[in-house]
Amino acid sequence: MKVVIFDDVLCRRQPSYSMAGLELSFHEHADDAVEVVRRERPDVILMDFSMDSALSGAEAVARLRAASDLGPLRIVGISSDPQDNERMLAAGADDAVPKTHLRAYLHRLLDQQRLDRRLR
């Protein structure tokens, strides 16, 4: 499963999110999110609300949703602040997860992918 992560803090913690079955791509800001997603075609996009960049995560989500050539996207807001996660949902994210639960969320995604493969 290919996952693109836009988060300035998690970029420094890349090794702690490595797990079998995941291909992770980390980006410190979301200013070029549309181009990154267009190039990498991820299965899931994890987007922080607050980054050291020109765009907020919510603005990046809105741009990703507006890019009609990207097709359906699974975008998940990730933040330690519950209000920021609510803002991400309001901007168009499909789901929102506290950063403290991110590893468990990634495990669930992998489990769901394995189940989907078995059911085919």
How confident is the model at residue 65, as a pLDDT? 93
How confident is the model at residue 105, as a pLDDT? 92
- The 10s digit of each residue's pLDDT in 64-112 is 999 989 989 999 999 989 999 999 999 999 999 999 999 999 999 888 8
CATH 3.40.50.9100 for domain 2-119: no
Which residue's structure tokens are 């789901």?
95
pLDDT of residue 45 exceeding 90, the answer is yes
Which residue's structure tokens are 């991820």?
42
Residue 19 tokens read as 């797990």
Residues 6+ away with beta carbon under 8 Å from 23: 1, 2, 3
How many C-beta neighbours within 10 Å does residue 81 have? 13
- Decide which of 68 and 24 is more confident: 24
